[in-house]
Amino acid sequence: MTDHAYNFAYLDEQTKRMIRRAILKGLAVPGYQVPFASREMPMPYGWGTGGVQVSAAVMTMDDTFKVIDQGADDTTNAVSIRSFFQRTAGVKTTTKTADASVIQTRHRIPEEALTEGQILVYQVPIPEPLRFLEPRESETRKMHSLEEYGLMHVKLYEDIARHGHIATSYAYPVRVEGRYVMDPSPIPKFDNPKLGDMAAIQLFGAGREQRIYALPPYTNVVSLDFEDHPFEASKANHACGMCGAEHSYLDEVIVDDAGGRMFVCSDTDFCESRQQAGHMGKDAA
Amino acid sequence: MYVAVKGGEQAIENAHAWLAEERRGDTSIDELSIAQIREQLALAVNRVMAEGSLYDPDLAALAIKQSRGDLIEAIFLIRAYRTTLPRFGASAPVDTGRMACDRRISATFKDLPGGQILGPTFDYTHRLLDFQLAANGETPTARTRETTPVDVPHVAEFLNREGLIQEEPRDDRTPPDLTREPLAMPAERALRLQALTRSDEGFTLGMAYSTQRGYGRNHAFVGELRIGAVPVEMDIPELGFAIEIGEVTLTECETVNQFTGSKTEPPQFTRGYGLVFGQTERKAISMALVDRALRWEELGEDNEGAPAQDAEFVLYHADNIQATGFLEHIKLPHYVDFQSELELIRKLRRDAGADAQMEAAE
């Protein structure tokens, strides 16, 4: 049921136009953070208001919408955002990655490769990759315009000097088309290789921080590293207990109070599809 | 045996139903009406209007009722509602010189044109619990007398006549709109004041207090504090002139601050300014102190590195809707990021030989 008191997909058309302009600018300058006049949404900042505004701005009546949080369609906040758009836009929703035309995500990229015509919308908490090196927005914007990324390399180098590894496991910074250093949102670095050369459009919305950025299809995206310490996408060294997948990102689940644990795909749609196709992991009933 | 968790939808529905029940509380107790909240919890209503940036006492009272008295939640409800409202246009600037003052005090002059009016203030009440209120809420009616309205000029104007206070340059440009354009740094004063008037009362109070204790010290006198209704006028294009469309109650505070001069400015008094919806004087005074602290640059003062002098720090952290949203979002699931941290810590520990050491110790 659509709630007729509000415009299609909640936001008024003026606001959508303003957001679409920011998106277009973001697509034209991949990896550049475009300021936009983020609105107060009927859900709290930090709970996906940037993603929701971007989804609302790109959504049409013919779209099929999917929402995942931590890879899962049925986590509470994913349920909440999906029902928000069911209510305010009346669009079709799905949990099938392949059937969705707009996918809003928090912290994951689906395992199944996305295709041309799909849009992946990321919820972004802190869009500025340099934020924890330099808290001032006025400074970090200057650093981006001057392509002054030495500080980031020093940080990564210090990690290696101290720990032998780069001690960043999620929100791992990338460089876009050899120009802007970009925060990919807090996806595990396992997902980083999927960012580059993706067939789908990737849009990033940070509501509280009032920034939108984007990756057009088939953009060159490189995770920062050093020649002698190449980037490595890591995951738990197990297979999924339910579907047996060996190359999907896994959640660790504690199953008893004696330290027993098992590993399952974080992408619930991927896991279920595999199980339906007859794949079975060692813990499946 | 692990079973993938389903039923988030049902859980949310149930939680909402329980919340509604808890909000109502014991049904054998009378329900609060919006009018009761508006009339008897007026200062809460004022805070919600001020920080919600919407002057509507009934909606603010509704928000307070719906949020079970959680004022930040109520402010959030108002903000989310406000953002959907169409904009007809902007009013003419309100003239606080024409305010019908309920309260008007100056700490800098013993007496002055327009007089000192205490008004309905807690200031000189003894903070003793009034058990009469628990027994019955009836109060004696306050005495009244007829008065004729008098002009109540702003205190700063007296100082200005002598040239003792810094002149505020007149600026007729339309100020930027914080709710329609992203906050950009450096922020001009009009934008800073806009952010401060809707900023969290507690945060603003803390920032103001820190300047009093020496972090960006700028001794402030309350030159004037006034509370009262001012008419709101709007130009109607079809008429070709401005008409009064209503009135709002405002609290205005102008501080007079010591200033011994800098490289660019002669010794003179300087000003801080606070203007807030409703009777909200703690907030208005706090706002004026923080405004003054943020003006260090234009006055050629030293940057002491005090938090209240740092516009980016103050403005990016003063909004309680932004702050509470981001703070509370850490309740949301983070197991994907946490999992990658687990893997990393295990790997680092393996490399550091920590596991081996632990085994040896056992």
DSSP code at position A159: H
Per DSSP, the three-state class of B314 is helix
| 285 residues of chain A, pLDDT tens digit each | 445 567 899 999 999 999 999 999 999 999 999 999 999 899 999 999 999 999 999 999 999 999 999 999 988 899 999 999 999 999 999 999 999 999 999 999 999 999 999 999 999 999 999 998 999 999 999 999 999 999 999 999 998 988 888 888 999 999 999 999 999 999 999 999 999 999 999 999 999 999 999 999 999 999 999 999 999 988 888 999 999 999 999 999 888 888 888 999 999 999 999 999 999 998 886
Longest Cα pair distance anywhere in chain A, in angstroms?
A: 59
Contact A70 B186 (CB under 8 A): no
A97-142 confidence digits (pLDDT tens):
999 999 999 999 999 999 999 999 999 999 999 998 999 999 999 9
What whole-number distance in Å separates Cα of residue A210 and Cα of residue A45?
Answer: 11
Nearest CA in chain A to B85: A12
Q: Where are the alpha helices (DSSP H) in A29-136?
A: 49-58, 76-89
Contact B333 A80 (CB under 8 A): no
Contact A77 B332 (CB under 8 A): yes
Residue A243 appears among annotated catalytic residues: yes
Residue A240 appears among annotated catalytic residues: yes
| Cβ-contact B191, B177 below 8 angstroms | no
Q: Which of residues 140-159 of A touch B (CB under 8 A)?
A: none
What are the structure tokens assigned to A242, written together? 């339910």
Q: Which residues contact B21 (CB under 8 A, 6 or more apart)?
A: none
| Cβ-contact B196, B202 below 8 angstroms | no
pTM: 0.89
Dihedral sign from CA coordinates of A13, A15, A17, A20: negative
What whole-number distance in Å separates Cα of residue A225 and Cα of residue A203?
Answer: 24
Measured between CB atoms, does A231 come within 8 Å of chain B?
A: no
| 362 residues of chain B, pLDDT tens digit each | 455 556 678 888 999 999 999 999 999 999 999 999 999 999 999 999 999 999 999 999 999 999 999 999 999 999 999 988 888 888 999 999 999 999 999 998 888 888 899 999 999 999 999 888 888 777 788 888 888 778 888 988 888 888 888 888 888 888 899 988 899 888 999 999 999 999 999 999 999 999 999 998 888 999 999 999 999 999 988 888 999 999 999 999 999 988 777 777 788 889 999 999 999 999 999 999 999 999 999 888 888 999 999 999 999 999 999 999 999 999 988 888 888 888 888 888 888 776 566 656 55
Measured between CB atoms, does B324 come within 8 Å of chain A?
A: yes
Cα distances from A203 to residues A141, A217, B161, B214, B236, in angstroms, run 20, 11, 57, 46, 42
Residue A122 main-chain phi, psi, to 5 deg: -95, 140
Which residues on neighbouring strands pair with residue A122, listed in sequence order? A105, A204
Contact B328 A44 (CB under 8 A): yes
